[in-house]
């Protein structure tokens, strides 16, 4: 069903780093209140913090997690929906095993990352200055992300009915197709020890497509490239805000975000960037 590429070969060694000093991440304030749409929070987490439990910490439910509430994907109230696991549990099962000890230590979060967070040291940076990787490593990561976009271009029209330029319609088609039942089926058939299992492939495809579409909608966004390549994030150099789109994809394929409505989530995210200028 899903295309495979050379990027699916597991890598246990760390790619070369220009520096061991990673930015100090600060979570953007923004607890969501689903009923009112207000976003109030003063909680912050730094790079050295570790989460003790799933992603339901109140301060971590970001504004954009609720921004799509008015357009959440419809559910049949008379049909029992399968139970899905939390995004952190799925991350630890399907992705954590592919990190080296060094990669795992420096990433700064035990499992999935917040939807948006900031690093003041990244404000105004562009090009190779926004990645800790060497030139050779950056090139490899760029190829992996591009391969996932190309794989989606090849796979998605066959079963999602999308065509033309990759845009919000592609995001909506994927989002609607992979409801709770299909996500549960994907998890059930995916072997965590198989780097090319459907769960990993679909998360990485969706993350790469999210990055592609959001960069087209907001051209000042650039890739903050990292390894493994799904650690790469979108960066707004104007505000120092980073958006871990591959982690958005893992959240989509879990109980945490399966019903969020990602078109609205994208729009709200880009609105927040404009508000922060």
Residues in the chain: 277
Residue 30 in this model has a pLDDT that exceeds 70? no
Distance CA 211, CA 243 (A): 9
| pLDDT band at 70; cut points 50, 70, 90 | very low
Digit-coded pLDDT (tens) for 72-96:
455 565 566 788 999 999 999 999 9
Digit-coded pLDDT (tens) for 246-276:
999 999 999 999 999 999 999 999 999 988 7
Domains of the chain by residue range? 83-115+128-232+243-275
Give exposure, 216-245, as e/b (b: 16+ Cβ within 10 Å): eebeebbbbbbbbbbbbbbbbbebbbbbbb
Which position has the token pair 């559910």? 75
Residue 9 in this model has a pLDDT that exceeds 60? no
- Pairwise pLDDT comparison (69 vs 173), residue with the higher score: 173
**Mean pLDDT for all residues in the chain:** 78
What pLDDT score was predicted for residue 221? 95
- 3-state DSSP call for residue 4? coil
Name the helix (H) or strand (E) containing 26.
strand 26-27
Digit-coded pLDDT (tens) for 197-250:
999 999 999 999 999 999 999 999 999 999 999 999 999 999 999 999 999 999
Distance CA 79, CA 226 (A): 42
| pLDDT band at 7; cut points 50, 70, 90 | low
Contact 195, 8 (CB under 8 A): yes
- Alpha-helical (H) ranges within the chain are 63-67, 87-94, 101-106, 135-160, 168-177, 180-189, 198-217, 245-252, 262-275
DSSP 155-223: HHHHHH---SS-SHHHHHHHHHHS-HHHHHHHHHH--TT-TT-HHHHHHHHHHHHHHHHHHHHSTT-EE
Residue 81 carries which DSSP code? P
Contact 26, 118 (CB under 8 A): yes
What pLDDT score was predicted for residue 126? 75
What is the Cα gyration radius of the chain? 18
Q: Is 127 left (phi over 0), alpha (psi -120 to 50) or beta?
A: left
pTM for this structure?
Answer: 0.78
Digit-coded pLDDT (tens) for 108-151:
788 999 999 888 888 887 766 678 888 899 999 999 999 999 99
Strand partners, 26: 118
Residue 256 carries which DSSP code? T
């Amino acid at each position: 069903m899903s295309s495979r590429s050379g990027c699916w070969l597991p890598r246990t060694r760390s790619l070369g780093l220009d520096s061991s000093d990673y930015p100090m991440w600060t979570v953007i304030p923004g607890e969501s209140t689903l009923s009112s749409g207000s976003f109030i929070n003063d909680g912050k987490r730094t790079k050295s913090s570790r989460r003790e439990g799933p992603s339901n910490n109140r301060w971590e439910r970001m504004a954009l997690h609720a921004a799509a509430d008015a357009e959440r994907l419809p559910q049949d109230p008379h049909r029992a929906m399968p139970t899905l696991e939390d995004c952190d549990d799925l991350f630890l099962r399907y992705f954590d095993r592919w990190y080296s000890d060094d990669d795992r230590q420096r990433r700064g979060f035990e499992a999935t990352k917040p939807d948006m967070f900031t690093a003041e040291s990244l404000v105004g940076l562009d090009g190779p200055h926004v990645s800790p990787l060497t030139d050779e490593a950056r090139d490899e990561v760029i190829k992996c992300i591009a391969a996932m976009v190309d794989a989606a271009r090849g796979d998605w029209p066959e079963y999602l009915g999308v065509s033309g330029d990759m845009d919000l319609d592609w995001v909506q088609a994927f989002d609607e197709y992979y409801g709770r039942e299909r996500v549960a089926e994907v998890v059930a058939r995916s072997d965590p020890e198989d780097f090319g299992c459907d769960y990993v492939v679909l998360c990485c495809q969706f993350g790469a497509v999210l990055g592609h579409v959001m960069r087209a909608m907001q051209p000042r966004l650039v890739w903050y490239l990292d390894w493994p390549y799904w650690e790469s994030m979108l960066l707004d150099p104007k505000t120092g805000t980073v958006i871990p789109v591959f982690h958005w994809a893992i959240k989509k394929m879990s109980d945490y975000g399966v019903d969020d409505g990602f078109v609205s989530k994208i729009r709200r995210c880009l609105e927040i960037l404009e508000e922060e200028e």
